[in-house]
Amino acid sequence: MLSFPPDWTFVLQIVLFLVLWTVLRRFLFEPNLAVLRERAQRTTGAVHEASHLRKHAEEMAERYKTQLSQARAQSLQEVERASHEAEEQARALLESARAEAARMTLEMRESLHREMATARQGLEAYIPEFSRDIAQKLLGRPLT
């Protein structure tokens, strides 16, 4: 039973409890609390780092999309420019071929007219002879 004032065993129990508390706190509670704090800091740090990495990845994805769309637009422009250049070259070649064909046609006509004039001049010398032959054949008798 409890007597008043407490006896020396009560004081001994309190001292032993304080010693036990100090030893447990120093060797068990503080290391465990330190481990829990470190774990919480690592978890919080990992969460912050993951958040930071996610933001960085999203920024990189946006930059990639932007660069990809710019590259596509640039390639479309280059294709369109090359197409226009090809059309212009084709048009120029066609015009050149047409001009060459027109020039050749004109030269051939002039050459043909010259040949016809030459042939006409050459045949004009034979007109009296041809006329006499035709008349002889029509009359059926030789002309004198």
DSSP per residue over 87-120, as a string? Answer: HHHHHHHHHHHHHHHHHHHHHHHHHHHHHHHHHH
Cα separation, 73 vs 129, in Å, equals 83
The pLDDT tens digits along the chain (144 residues) read 566 667 788 889 999 999 999 999 999 999 999 999 999 988 998 889 999 999 999 999 999 999 999 999 999 999 999 999 999 999 999 999 999 999 999 999 999 999 999 988 888 888 888 888 888 888 888 877
Cβ contacts of residue 136 below 8 Å, gap of 6+?
142, 143
- Specify the pTM: 0.44
Predicted local confidence at residue 82, as pLDDT: 95
Diameter over CA atoms, the chain: 190
